[in-house]
């Protein structure tokens, strides 16, 4: 499952309040996020996401959740979506945005290194 761990101290509510929607358009694809929601206990954020690649739409929920060592950005476990380059790029863009907003965080465990460059 594609994911990015960001190690360090950060508050999920702070991420929620600084999050900006992702929108990337190329000749071959449109990658974007829409509405986002925070859990009642402020431990997770769900983000509606859409990857359109060569005319094929992939809708899914991205999730930012708290861990003991920081946070993880991944596909919501209930989402059944093909892990295309566009889907992986959206997750990486979310992680990059969080890292830029909270420079104290460091990239930890991930299988999306090529998308984080």
The band of 101, judged by pLDDT with boundaries at 50, 70 and 90, is very high
Q: What is the pLDDT of residue 90?
A: 98
**How confident is the model at residue 79, as a pLDDT?**
86
29 dihedral zone (left: phi>0; alpha: psi -120 to 50; beta): beta
Average pLDDT over residues 26-37: 96
Q: How would residue 78 be classed by pLDDT, with cut points 50, 70 and 90?
A: confident
pLDDT(99) > 90: yes
**Rounded mean pLDDT of the chain?**
97
| DSSP element (H, E) containing 52 | strand 44-53
Q: Is 15 within 8 Å of 102 (Cβ atoms)? A: yes
Query: How do the domains of the chain map onto residue ranges?
Result: 3-116
pLDDT of residue 117: 87
- CA atoms of 61 and 33, how far apart (whole Å): 9
What percentage of residues in the chain have a pLDDT greater than 90?
Answer: 97
CA dihedral 96, 1, 110, 103 (to 10 degrees): 30
Global pTM?
0.95
């Amino acid at each position: 499952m594609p994911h990015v761990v960001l190690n360090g101290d950060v508050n999920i509510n702070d991420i929620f309040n600084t999050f900006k929607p992702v929108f990337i358009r190329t000749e071959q694809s449109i990658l974007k996020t829409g509405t986002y929601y925070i859990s009642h206990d402020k431990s997770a954020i769900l983000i509606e996401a859409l990857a359109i690649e060569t005319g094929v739409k992939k809708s899914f929920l991205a999730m930012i959740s708290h861990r003991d060592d920081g946070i993880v950005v991944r596909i919501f476990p209930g989402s059944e979506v093909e892990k295309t380059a566009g889907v992986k790029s959206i997750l990486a863009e979310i992680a990059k945005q969080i890292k830029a907003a909270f420079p104290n965080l460091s990239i930890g465990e991930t299988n999306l290194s090529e998308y984080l460059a």
